């Protein structure tokens, strides 16, 4: 066996909320003007009340509404796969498992929260959502979810990606979304996630019919992604594994990493490992401080590892990892030592991604390549030690809309 | 429930061979020079003996070797999905099921035969395969399969596609294949499947270490694809359906249509429907005759519906359906009346594909859009008649590498 499937009625019925487990390690967001903790009313112009409540909830489990589960069942539970061919190529005693989130309609883990956010906004009477997207995985996911819940979706796409990745724009438009390059008022600026968040927040704050949606970083986003780890834990047991020795995910804002790893936080025997690009080394070289989520300073201040909200990372291909900050939950886990972090240059990433494609068959997103790089290194350490370690990672998305990155790697045009 | 999954150990253990059921309706291929039926020795420079034997086998079931099943299990059995959201949007009493072949590493049904062909060639001592590709689904599949069995793969890609779809080329190169535009000796010629087949056959015939591989049309190719229909039949029963009323597939050379429909041929209560583009109307307007499979006249003559081997179809986006001929098996079924055929212009196709994306969530290949168009029309006929018909179709591939086609449709640039 190399794939473990769960029937549709085993989509988790509740999200796992790790925040009670973190206690005081999680500092509250501050209002950008007053620097006092933000309250629900401060956030109400941007988010529906259910999501605001989830952002600060201390309940350990939060029930998933039926209409969300109905949509998740279009592709969930996702397969847990053992990468036996990669193991054989590495000649490692490690057993490597991955949770395949690339099977969603939008091709990544992002729909897990996009569907929830679209549902809560639609059921709260909102007609329109504004959001940002970098490489396009999040914008695609929200466009898909908006189409299913009858919401108009406006996506502010980082201009450099908008110009380099027209297929991503077309995908969003196929689901009915409207996509414009950001920053909207500086046509020569290449843009960044920080500028696009500013554009989307301004849009949502200026219209009564519109809310804002964020694809990572916030507590409620990571909460929605915990279906990944919850399913994976059950599937690992089907595979005969008591627990993973290490859980690995790439980390930009932290949503796929949180999704696969948070359900394992209480089990101290499980190592957790974040993988980021060395050109945007938030967790490995950033400072832990209060900072804005966007360039313009419109968002609340979050307590997190940050490279500074005006940091513009180099144009690496893993656009989803080009973010100056990080999820407060992930930041707290790293700061406390519960989670480790490592950074790699992108040539190392694509070397690993191509090895994966030529052994396991599938071509991953550049973001996912970061996790695979770390998995290979962990498997080689296990080989060196002669130990049968169990490695679990999140295969967060496919790379079918990122093939120009592979072209650059195969033709030695990558710059680190 | 809207998805029926089978465990890995339920990948079929034998392929279903329909040819004994067809009897005399299937005329033998003729040698291009002598016009006598070809023998195994005529084909030996191009194909391994196991495939030549399968091409003419009259055994009703042919055992699938273990190493092929091992690779198929990377993604098979594929899900059977009920398209409930599409049904609701159409307000039809019909129950619409599709077999999702887009989940393979190469994104279509093509690996079902690519893996088998790579295995038989590798186990027969061949080191290198030459093939053609149009839109790129077949070339991708053989590149993937070649990587897993250690074969060098050379792909002759129709020049128009090579220039328009650089991502497809990169995907093949990521798996290690070498890709060149065809025709190789006429750099200004846009190419066609017919010219690319000529290039690939010439390559294979001129080198001792090289065989040729074809992605459709031939009996052994359709044989390998029958895993689709065999799994679907079992999954329909899991879903509580005795049989489908109609089985639908798009048709270029006939491999995905054959895959889903051939196991249902003996059940006369099941209608079979081929869907093709009105700009390449092989089954609906072609003549039934002996014709070459390629432009240069290098292949055996096949008894099939054909538009003439020098027919160059318009550059519609469904590149996989731009073939002048058709599988002899499919042709025999249509000629005998066992299978129906219908043709659509491409604007109708993309209208259906976008409706599918906005209801079911996934973006299909333009080829697959043909099947969906016919499915919608059958569902509307059922609505008109007030009948609970069961419709089964093959979701042959995703459209993530065909998004420029959607861009053209959404911006009213499609030409029929």
pLDDT in tens, B178-208: 999 999 999 999 888 888 999 999 999 999 9
Give a three-class secondary structure readout of B343-389: EECHHHHHHHHHHHHHHCCCCECHHHHHHHHHHHHHHHHHHHHCCCC
* Cα(B212)–Cα(B298) distance, integer angstroms: 12
In a domain, A294, yes or no: yes
Q: How many CA atoms lie within 13 A of B376 on its CB side?
A: 21
**Which tokens hold the place of B39?**
């023998």
**Cβ–Cβ gap B2/A175 under 8 Å:** no
Q: Which of B74, B85, B174 sits opposite A406 (nearest CB)?
A: B174
Q: Is B415 on the interface with A (CB under 8 A)?
A: no
* Cα(B204)–Cα(A94) distance, integer angstroms: 41
- Closest chain A residue by Cα to residue B10: A1
In a domain, A74, yes or no: yes
**Cβ–Cβ gap B406/A5 under 8 Å:** no
Q: Which residues of B touch A7 (CB under 8 A)?
A: 5
- Closest chain B residue by Cα to residue A86: B148
**Torsions phi, psi of A297, nearest 5?**
75, 35
Q: Which of A3, A175, A363 sits opposite B357 (nearest CB)?
A: A175
At B378, which CATH number? 3.40.50.1100
pLDDT tens profile A245-260:
999 999 999 999 999 9
Residue B26 pLDDT > 80: yes
Gap from A25 CA to chain B (nearest CA, Å)? 39
* Structure confidence at residue B297 (pLDDT): 87
In a domain, B18, yes or no: no
pLDDT tens profile A259-297:
999 999 999 999 999 999 999 999 999 999 999 988 888
Interface test mutation site (partner A, options B178, B357, B372, B395, max chain A beta carbons within 10 A): B357
Helix, strand or coil, per DSSP, at residue A356: helix
Q: Average the pLDDT over B163-167 and give the result.
A: 89
Q: Is A5 on the interface with B (CB under 8 A)?
A: yes
Task: Report chain A's mean pLDDT, rounded to a whole number.
Answer: 95
pLDDT tens profile A53-91:
999 999 999 999 999 999 999 999 999 999 999 999 999
* Structure confidence at residue B383 (pLDDT): 98
* Cα(B44)–Cα(A214) distance, integer angstroms: 60
**Cβ–Cβ gap A74/B2 under 8 Å:** yes
Q: Is B412 on the interface with A (CB under 8 A)?
A: no
Q: Is B350 on the interface with A (CB under 8 A)?
A: no
Counting DSSP H helices and E strands in chain B, the numbers are: 18, 15
Of A378, A390, A94, the residue nearest A269 (C-alpha) = A390
* Structure confidence at residue B292 (pLDDT): 94
Output the CA torsion sign for B306, B307, B311, B313.
Answer: negative
Q: Which pLDDT band holds residue A368 (cuts at 50, 70, 90)?
A: very high
% residues pLDDT > 70 (chain A): 100
Gap from A315 CA to chain B (nearest CA, Å)? 20
Residue B61's region, left for phi above 0, alpha for psi from -120 to 50, else beta, is: beta
Residue A416 pLDDT > 80: no
Q: ipTM more than 0.90?
A: yes
For A378, B163, B263, the CA distances from B252, given in Å and listed in that order, are 46, 22, 19
Give the number of domains in chain B: 1
Q: Is A404 on the interface with B (CB under 8 A)?
A: yes
Q: Which residues of A touch B112 (CB under 8 A)?
A: none
Q: Which residues of A touch B369 (CB under 8 A)?
A: none
Q: Average the pLDDT over B275-295 and give the result.
A: 95
% residues pLDDT > 70 (chain B): 100
In a domain, A398, yes or no: yes
* Cα(A404)–Cα(A399) distance, integer angstroms: 10
Tell me if A199 sits within 8 A of A183, measured CB to CB: yes
* Cα(B356)–Cα(B338) distance, integer angstroms: 29
Helix, strand or coil, per DSSP, at residue B326: coil
Residue B51 pLDDT > 80: yes
- Going by the DSSP 8-state scheme, the letter that residue A263 receives in this structure is G
Q: Is A171 on the interface with B (CB under 8 A)?
A: yes
Q: Which of A1, A148, A403 sits opposite B170 (nearest CB)?
A: A403
* Structure confidence at residue B67 (pLDDT): 97
Q: Is B358 on the interface with A (CB under 8 A)?
A: yes
For B221, B223, B266, B378, the CA distances from B273, given in Å and listed in that order, are 19, 18, 15, 10
In a domain, A270, yes or no: yes
Q: Which residues of B touch A398 (CB under 8 A)?
A: 400
- Closest chain A residue by Cα to residue B408: A170
pLDDT tens profile A184-211:
999 999 888 888 999 999 999 999 999 9
Residue B270 pLDDT > 80: yes
In a domain, A42, yes or no: no
Output Rg (C-alpha) for chain A, integer angstroms: 20
For A203, B56, B136, B307, the CA distances from A103, given in Å and listed in that order, are 32, 38, 21, 39
Domain assignment of residue A287, given as a range = 68-108+220-410
Task: Report chain B's mean pLDDT, rounded to a whole number.
Answer: 95
* Structure confidence at residue B131 (pLDDT): 98
Tell me if A397 sits within 8 A of A391, measured CB to CB: no
Residue B416 pLDDT > 80: no
**Which tokens hold the place of A81?**
């796969």
In a domain, B401, yes or no: yes
**Cβ–Cβ gap A174/B8 under 8 Å:** no
% residues pLDDT > 90 (chain B): 89
Of A322, A345, A347, the residue nearest A414 (C-alpha) = A347
Q: Average the pLDDT over A115-140 and give the result.
A: 96
Contact residues for A70 (Cβ-Cβ < 8 A; gap 6+): none
* Structure confidence at residue A320 (pLDDT): 84
Residue A108 pLDDT > 80: yes
Q: Is B89 on the interface with A (CB under 8 A)?
A: no
Q: Which pLDDT band holds residue B415 (cuts at 50, 70, 90)?
A: confident
- Closest chain A residue by Cα to residue B89: A148
Strand A61-63, strand A128-133: pairing: unpaired
Residue A271: which H helix or E strand, with range? strand A271-277
**Torsions phi, psi of A248, nearest 5?**
-125, 135
Tell me if B85 sits within 8 A of B77, measured CB to CB: no
CB-based burial of residue A334 (10 Å sphere; 0-12 exposed, 13-18 middle, 19+ buried)? buried
Residue B20 pLDDT > 90: yes
Residue A303 pLDDT > 80: yes
* Structure confidence at residue A56 (pLDDT): 93
Bridge partners of A292, per DSSP, are A301
Interface test mutation site (partner B, options A358, A364, A409, max chain B beta carbons within 10 A): A358
In a domain, A22, yes or no: no
Tell me if A317 sits within 8 A of A366, measured CB to CB: yes
Contact residues for B14 (Cβ-Cβ < 8 A; gap 6+): B61, B62, B63, B64
pLDDT tens profile B66-120:
999 999 999 999 999 999 999 999 999 999 999 999 999 999 999 999 999 999 9
Q: Average the pLDDT over B275-288 and give the result.
A: 96
């Amino acid at each position: 066996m190399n794939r473990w499937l769960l029937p549709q009625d085993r989509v988790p019925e509740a999200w796992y909320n790790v925040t009670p487990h973190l206690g005081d390690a999680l500092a509250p967001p501050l209002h950008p003007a007053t620097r006092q903790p933000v309250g629900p009313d401060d956030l109400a112009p941007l988010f529906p009340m259910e999501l605001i409540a989830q952002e600060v909830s201390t309940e350990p489990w939060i029930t998933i509404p039926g209409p969300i589960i109905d949509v998740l069942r279009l592709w969930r539970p996702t397969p847990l796969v053992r990468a036996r061919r990669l193991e054989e190529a590495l000649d490692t005693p490690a057993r490597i498992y991955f949770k395949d989130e690339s099977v969603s309609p939008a091709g990544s883990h992002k729909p897990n929260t996009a569907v929830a956010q679209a549902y809560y906004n639609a059921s709260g009477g909102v007609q329109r959502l504004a959001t940002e997207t970098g490489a396009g995985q999040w914008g695609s996911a929200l466009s898909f979810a908006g189409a299913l819940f009858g919401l108009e979706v406006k996506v502010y796409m980082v201009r450099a990606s908008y110009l380099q990745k027209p297929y991503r724009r077309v995908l969003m438009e196929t689901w009915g979304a409207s996509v414009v390059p950001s920053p909207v008022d500086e046509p020569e600026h290449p843009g960044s996630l920080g500028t696009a968040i500013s554009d989307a927040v301004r849009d949502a704050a200026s219209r009564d019919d519109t809310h804002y949606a964020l694809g990572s970083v916030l507590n409620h986003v990571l909460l929605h992604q915990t279906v990944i780890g919850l399913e994976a834990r059950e599937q690992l047991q089907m595979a005969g594994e008591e627990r993973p020795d290490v859980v690995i995910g790439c980390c930009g804002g932290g949503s796929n990493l949180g999704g696969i790893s948070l359900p394992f936080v209480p089990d101290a025997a499980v190592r957790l490992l974040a993988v980021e690009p060395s050109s945007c080394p938030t967790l490995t070289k950033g400072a832990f401080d209060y900072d804005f989520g966007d360039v313009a300073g419109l968002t609340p201040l979050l307590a997190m590892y940050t490279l500074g909200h005006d940091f513009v990372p180099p144009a690496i291909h893993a656009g989803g990892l080009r973010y100056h900050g990080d999820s407060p939950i992930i930041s707290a886990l790293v700061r406390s030592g519960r989670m480790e972090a490592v950074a790699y240059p992108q040539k190392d990433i694509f070397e690993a991604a191509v090895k994966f494609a030529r052994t396991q068959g599938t071509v991953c997103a550049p973001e996912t390549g970061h996790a695979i790089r770390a998995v290979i290194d962990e498997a080689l350490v296990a080989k060196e030690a002669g130990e049968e370690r169990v490695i679990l990672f999140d295969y967060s998305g496919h790379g079918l809309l990122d093939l120009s990155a592979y072209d650059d790697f195969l033709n030695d045009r990558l710059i680190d």
